[in-house]
Chain A
């Protein structure tokens, strides 16, 4: 079996034209998912059953179903409802990109909220008691003690989820989006050279991941200054 280097050199720039869309899917879904995760987290730890239980159900549903199925439900399913088509969200949901971002955000939000909760549970109770003993209110303790410590604790698992989200963006190609994977699939359909194209695609994702790893490494080093003895 031959390995067509020329084909790789020719198709790499074409595939990289999709990097903008991949990046857009990652960043927008990542940010929206994080905001959703924070809301879910606050519901989970509110101590109020009517907030806690809906959040638990949400997390269960979105962790319990494949992300591909969620993308299909949003893209193929929602437009069937007239109320959706008449809502203010229709301009977003009419576009495959909007659907992909919605599905990815809803999905990653469920996972990230549990990651954040792990961080919150990891905060030493004694330190919070010290805050209470000094007269700090529950809100003050949450903002000044729990949040910074929990963020640091949750970061490694969170970076894992962001990397996972990067790979999930490839599923957007199944609903006609021309991200890197979408373009690669088109090239493969034209050239019948899946080996060369998909391997080079995989390498591009690995480079992307490497960049994310480095970025989170820097953030971890910055937030973790207080954990180093010298």
Chain B
């Protein structure tokens, strides 16, 4: 798969992140162009989630530069909100608003953040619920849906904001095995449509078929960065080889 030569949407330069004395990110450099699909993998505690959470400032980086579509991430609330409007995020635990019906979950941020009218917000919500194939659940509460359905709702909720970039933080890790595919299918469709995506995931089949680039992280560093064929068939670093042998041995 060729890497599209589009403008860079995400630029991280020499980013470091500390939690107290613990260094979660070490000198991370990353550039993601429009339309690129990146998969981030690595052992637990390697900084994968921290890295993507820095992109929409759910975590504050300690130093270095992060520029999202021309907006530099600083302390300014205005800059942070500008970035968050462009960046959708899907979490491991879905994080739907438990006290709102599914359709309300999809409408609320449109109305509050985009100032969309109620009717337009509802229309957009139903459009994306159709896309993730669960329009019939619109009036239910999250607890009444299966994990796979909840995660599809979460994806639809992020898409309602018309983001330029989608971040996925281990979107299938909390799911029962039989529900993983329905979520991956939605993600594959998104990738086909050209959405710029960064996915932290352990789904190596998905990584191989969808990713333009795979990033392997360990101990807060980007250890290896390569196209899928290269990454799986000819990994360079010993740490990558060890990781791959651990997760692909069964």
B85-102 residues at the A interface, CB under 8 angstroms? 85, 87-89, 91, 93, 95-100
Choice from B81, B98, B141, B143 contacting A135 with Cβ under 8 Å: B81
Q: Please name all residues of chain A whose beta carbon is closer than 8 Å to the beta carbon of B99 when the two chains form the complex.
A: 148-149, 152, 226
Q: How far is the CB of B202 from chain A (nearest CB, A)?
A: 20
Chain B proximity mask over A84-111: 1 for CB below 8 Å, otherwise 0: 0000000000000000000000000000
Closest CB of chain A to B168's CB: distance in Å?
A: 12
**Shortest CB distance B128–A (Å):** 13
**Among A133, A149, A230, which residue has its beta carbon within 8 angstroms of that of B88?**
A133
Contact with B along A131-146 (1 / 0, CB 8 A): 1111111001000110
Judged by a CB distance under 8 angstroms, whether B1 is at the interface is no
Q: Of B30-38, B107-115, B203-211, B222-230, which binds chain A?
A: B107-115
Most-contacted residue by chain B among A130, A133, A225, A227 (CB, 10 A): A133
Known: A127-B97, A127-B98, A145-B97. A133 touches B58 (CB 8 A): yes
Q: Contact: A130 with B95, CB < 8 Å? A: yes
Within 8 A of B (CB), among A127-177: 127, 129-137, 140, 144-145, 148-149, 152
B residues 65-95 in Cβ contact with A at 8 Å: 77, 81, 84-85, 87-89, 91, 93, 95
CB within 8 Å of A: which residues of B?
A: 56, 58, 77, 81, 84-85, 87-89, 91, 93, 95-100, 108-109, 112-113, 141-144, 154, 157-158, 161
Asked whether A134 and B161 contact (CB < 8 A) given A140-B112, A144-B108, the answer is: yes
Min C-beta distance of B81 to chain A, whole Å: 6
Cβ-closest 8 pairs across A and B: A134-B109, A130-B95, A133-B89, A135-B84, A135-B113, A126-B95, A226-B141, A226-B99
- Contact partner of A133 (CB less than 8 A), chosen from B87, B108, B141, B142, is B87
Q: Tell me the bound Cα distance from A191 to B89 in angstroms.
A: 74
Question: Does A214 count as interface, using CB distance less than 8 angstroms?
Answer: no
| A129 surroundings in chain B (CB, below 8 A) | 58, 91, 95
Q: A226-B141, A227-B143 are in contact. Are A137 and B81 (CB under 8 A)?
A: yes
**Contact residue among A130, A144, A149 (Cβ-Cβ distance under 8 Å from B112):** A144
Give CA–CA (A145, B158) in the complex, Å.
17
Nearest CB on A from B80, distance (A):
9
B72 to chain A, nearest CB (A): 17
Let me know if A134 and B144 touch, CB within 8 A: no
Asked if B91 contacts A134 (CB within 8 A), the reply is no
A141–chain B nearest beta-carbon distance, Å: 9
Q: State whether B157 touches A134 (Cβ < 8 A).
A: yes
Ordered by A's residue number, 20 sampled pairs between the chains whose C-beta atoms are within 8 Å are: A124-B95, A124-B98, A127-B95, A129-B58, A130-B97, A132-B58, A133-B58, A133-B87, A134-B84, A134-B109, A135-B84, A137-B77, A145-B97, A149-B98, A149-B99, A226-B141, A226-B142, A228-B143, A229-B144, A230-B144
- The smallest C-beta distance from A179 to any residue of chain B, in angstroms, reads 38
In the complex formed, the residue of B with least CB distance to A152 is: B99
Among B96, B99, B141, B154, residue most surrounded by chain A Cβ atoms (within 10 Å):
B99
Contacts of B158 in A (CB 8 A): 133-134
Chain A nearest CB, measured from B165 CB (Å)? 12
Nearest chain A residue, comparing its CB with the CB of B85:
A135
Taking A135-B161, A144-B108, A226-B98 as given, write out 18 further A-B residue pairs in contact, using a Cβ cutoff of 8 Å, ordered by the A residue number. A124-B98, A130-B89, A130-B95, A130-B97, A130-B157, A133-B58, A133-B84, A135-B81, A135-B85, A136-B113, A140-B113, A145-B97, A149-B99, A152-B99, A226-B99, A227-B98, A227-B143, A230-B144
